[in-house]
Amino acid sequence: NAGVTQTPKFRILKIGQSMTLQCTQDMNHNYMYWYRQDPGMGLKLIYYSVGAGITDKGEVPNGYNVSRSTTEDFPLRLELAAPSQTSVYFCASSYSRAGNEQYFGPGTRLTVT
Amino acid sequence: KNEVEQSPQNLTAQEGEFITINCSYSVGISALHWLQQHPGGGIVSLFMLSSGKKKHGRLIATINIQEKHSSLHITASHPRDSAVYICAVSRSGNQFYFGTGTSLTVIP
């Protein structure tokens, strides 16, 4: 199993551009999450999903959108990128109920200039 | 105030030393998690516990629910243990709160 994969690994965006961060898991996990990690700060939850077709906001959802059309994929969309969205983004998944062990992807380092 | 506080923020140890990292939280939880983030950035789950103690190799995690406190111990530390250790708590309603991490450097 590949686990949780994310693409791209690195990306530089200009202010106002849009992009989609891809996340795929092959463990048949119901729960998937998007986090951002800023220097000196703990991970912050952006959006999460408890299954295909069901998504909900986390702590810091502004400026982002998600969709979950399949169990495997949970893309994160940035519209009109802003410098404040410069961060490292992690996708994670877990099986069954919330609170279970999470499996993290390798991260995407995004810079908005 | 953060829901999860870790100490120390930074820790340097000599190889072979016994290491303790502390985590305090201020909310009711369903479970507490210890994660390891390597210099390359990848995050790995080490432990998930809701009571008592768990051991995996040289790593031991304990939790005291009444005191809202957890510790991560590393016995016979090794340079390959150098990483950032993150404490996180999960709550009902899919809420996760993360500490800011403890950066550990083990010197040969």
Tell me which long-range contacts B53-62 makes (C-beta under 8 A, separation of at least 24): B61/B34
pLDDT of residue B1: 64
Q: What is the mean pLDDT of chain A?
A: 93
Residue A1 binned pLDDT confidence (cut-offs 50, 70, 90): confident
Of all residues in chain B, the one with the smallest CA distance to A37 is B100
The set of residues, in sequence order, having a beta carbon less than 8 Å from that of A14 and lying 6+ positions away, is: A81, A112, A113
Residues of B with CB under 8 A from a CB of A: 2, 4, 30-31, 33, 35, 41-45, 48, 86, 88, 90-101
Residue B90 binned pLDDT confidence (cut-offs 50, 70, 90): confident
Residue B95 binned pLDDT confidence (cut-offs 50, 70, 90): confident
Residue B8 binned pLDDT confidence (cut-offs 50, 70, 90): very high
Q: How many other CB atoms are there within 10 angstroms of residue B2's CB atom?
A: 14
User: Does residue B93 register a pLDDT over 90?
Assistant: no
Name which of A2-16, A22-36, A84-98 the model is least confident about. A84-98
CB A36 within 8 Å of CB A88: yes
User: Does residue B70 register a pLDDT over 70?
Assistant: yes
User: Does residue A98 register a pLDDT over 60?
Assistant: no
User: Does residue A97 register a pLDDT over 70?
Assistant: no
How large is the average pLDDT for residues B45-57? 94
User: How many Cα atoms are found within 13 Å in the side-chain-facing hemisphere of B3?
Assistant: 17
Q: Which of B99, B97, B47 is nearest to B73 (CA)?
A: B47
Answer whether A98 sits within 8 Å of B88, measured CB to CB: no
Q: Which residues is B20 bridged to in the sheet?
A: B73
How large is the average pLDDT for residues B30-55? 92
Of the two residues B48 and A97, the one the predictor is more confident about is B48
Whether A90 and chain B come into contact, CB under 8 Å, resolves to yes
pLDDT of residue A23: 98
Dmax over Cα atoms in chain A, in whole Å? 39
Whether A102 and chain B come into contact, CB under 8 Å, resolves to yes
Question: Measured between alpha carbons, how far is B13 from B8 in angstroms, rounded to an integer?
Answer: 12
Burial degree of B84 (CB within 10 A; 0-12, 13-18, 19+): middle
